[in-house]
Structure 1
């Protein structure tokens, strides 16, 4: 294989050998030509992002047929000159919602809640409010009737949040309109934690992440792992990390590594290796609940028929889908996809950008984590190119 500059591969079967900061190692489990081809596609797709969008560093992880690799570029910290590694912690933004959905689905698998339940069953302070007349399913799929993308600026603590949601009134009947919303998913996660009888962050860090085999994933990064935590970079190029906010843990609070995130993807590709309740939970997040244009909304994940063109994948992740109300057609009953399906989710904070996609029928998946919020069209274009290479037959 030719050398790929300072392109680093952190290895897990698809590319196998000692960790190197300068070039790829020999392939194992796949033909060498296929390994070289995928490495070159990743290089070609992602390295330009560093220059085009002034991205300090990023990590890309791929998996195919149970074999995975992590590719790293650039710096986790410009001032400290720390390179990105397979275990560098990035803020994954709204990709966190897929973990929140998994926790809620586990609560359902254990019989602690039903998605048909009213939120007030678990959050008593909601009783009698408009939000107690919707279901947990509505909260988990952004169809509660028009909850906003963010809480108003004046909502800075728990008391203000409770007052806001108690007086909130819907602008559409529940289940009929999808409005992407951090408060909606945040309340969904809060109800799930209450159903399980614990603190949300502790349930994630002490129960869910270990159950999925994730060693370096956190809501609150402990002091022992702060050296792994990348600095994000905002519009002015200054180092930044996410600010605490109301229901932030549930909606956008996870910090994780490329190595952990590709394990999470592999758990979604093959949930049968998980303990039964968690297997049911992961499978539960693959159920479709409403059709929104060409996309089906699941719990956390957004589903699209596969294969699909770059244009269709871009359209499903366009600003209109994220920032504007969209008609939603409930699936009755909710159901798993019947054909090949791409599951995907974007995530951003002020200093970080993430994208995750996988196709169970092809046994392929991809994770991108960056310490700048790369424009979503650029993330999608790079991911689509790599997914096409992963799905292709070996030369």
Structure 2
């Protein structure tokens, strides 16, 4: 990854001072606080946590503030900090069936068990600028948080009861989950590693790929089986105790996409699954992730790989926005020697072409004189 550049120390220090000055902005205005970012720019904080793979709202808010609102720079900052943290172990898989649900919708069943819960969403807003938000005055009473936490049946369980959807995938008992942050990337990847990469992948990139599958580049015909947003309990096995100990609760978004499947030599006609799970309220990201996850299962299900979203190496190698940013932005760094070498090469090629053309014209003139 390209990250650093050497230059004049004084110039770099001045650039840092200017950046800090622009970050602070007009001194006559109050400085934005970390708590304000956490509470009022929560979706930005959630995205930074998700794509940095670190669940800490205050640190994510700090990164957003330090990056002046540049999401990818904030993600980069938080990932860099993450590498300094010690690791004490791995948690057991979270049970999203026991989620304390804040939002839960399905596009496949209107009257599903447990009901639809709209929760906080932009889905039904008019997408018109609200002039009242120009004022700092609070004119509305805060909404009381609803109690919840009861376990509700999944849409996939309804289809599974009729045998119409593929079963949940299961790994062997001795399977150890991989870790993209500590192991070199190799292809083909197991699905758990692939989902890790998608969970920390760039939302915009995955959104574009998910959109491409809906336009025919991947043969997906998706339905949102279920989207859930809420808190889940995180537990960790303690070998000395012999049982799992709760560490706390985190907020996540889960999407189960149900996809039409006509069958193949490897599987009968049925519905297949695409899955997305990300930190915080990141609904669009979870949906895009589940669309791409399903597309990347093409080989597993005996489908032809004909579209970019089905190409595992293409998707996984390009979905990481920190790596993409490093590689693209390194073009800003000095390339004087390289450019001079190419400049000399282009000049020589132009000179060779001009000489060849001049020689060809001389030959044509001689031929014409001989003919006369």
Higher strand share: 1
Q: Which has the higher helix share?
A: 2
TM-score after normalising by structure 2: 0.27
Instruction: Provide the TM-score with structure 1 as the length reference.
Output: 0.26
Q: Which has the larger radius of gyration?
A: 2
Structure scoring higher RCO (CA < 8 A, sep ≥ 6) equals: 1
